Amino acid sequence: MEFRPRQLLAALASYGVDCLVIGGIAAAMHKAIRETIDVDILCEPSEANLERIAVLLTSLGARVKGAQRPARRVGAELLHGVTLMTFETELGELDVFFEVPGMPSYSELSQRAHRVAINGSFVKVVSRADLIALKRAGGRDKDRVIIEELLKLGELGAPEDPDAA
Amino acid sequence: MQSGQAPVDHDDESRGNTQSALDSVDEAQLRSRLLWTANECLKHLEEFTHDMEALRQEFHRSSPPDIVAQ
């Protein structure tokens, strides 16, 4: 499967999806670059945004990860009431979160997020401090090295804003 | 538990693996990224992922089937 995270992020922006980039891609944007195979986003849960996500997913030929049947139209109703749904798209795997247990609300995280230019489009990436908290909340052993890198980057003076190089 | 006996730590192995990974945090490498924009970081990530995938495919091509299965 193709994995083109920059194109995927640009597509999210062009369809007006209100979301925050989290996970390994957010870590990479904050300069902690480790191999990752998917794009994780935390989405604003309004009905209008669910519609935009559904239109985007349909345009990218998305299907629920592991599903055997071929891609078809994705309806917003598929996203109602879910906390996480994982899709395979033409541009790579996309993990759509609406909630992360133990973390503040979308609106709170969004206020601290940074607006970043990717391939000419603007996306919001979660702040470094919130990303560290998200990784800690996940409690996965493999994330500990990313947490260490993010903390080290802070010590080395990496700017809070990923685009303020 | 008998006096002096070390407690059994079932997480020793995973801690060891994590420690190895932590040891690989390379300060010089991190310093070299300080001036990269987010877009540049993602470009490097894509190249790195592409290279890793190429290595995996090469491994599958060149290794005996019993090794690949592991």
Q: What is the pLDDT of residues A118-162, one digit of tens each?
A: 888 899 999 999 999 999 998 888 899 999 999 999 999 999 999
Contact A33 B48 (CB under 8 A): yes
| Check: complex ipTM more than 0.90 | no
Q: How many domains does one find in chain A? A: 1
Could you say which of A3, A148, A163 has the minimum Cβ distance to residue B38? A163
- pLDDT, one tens digit per residue, over B39-58 is 999 999 999 888 888 888 88
Please check whether residue A52 lies inside any domain of the structure.
yes
Chain A residues whose beta carbon lies within 8 Å of the beta carbon of residue B30: 31, 149, 152-153, 156, 158
Please check whether residue B40 lies inside any domain of the structure.
yes
Please check whether residue A75 lies inside any domain of the structure.
yes
Q: How many domains does one find in chain B? A: 1
Please check whether residue B3 lies inside any domain of the structure.
no
Please check whether residue B42 lies inside any domain of the structure.
yes
Contact B48 A141 (CB under 8 A): no
CATH assignment of the domain containing A119 = 3.30.460.40
- pLDDT, one tens digit per residue, over A66-113 is 887 766 889 999 999 999 999 999 999 999 999 998 899 999 999 999
Which has the closest alpha carbon to A43: A61, A60, A20? A20
Range of the domain at A39: 5-153
Q: For the whole model, what pTM was predicted? A: 0.84
Cα four-point dihedral sign A32, A34, A39, A44: negative
Please check whether residue A33 lies inside any domain of the structure.
yes
Please check whether residue B54 lies inside any domain of the structure.
yes
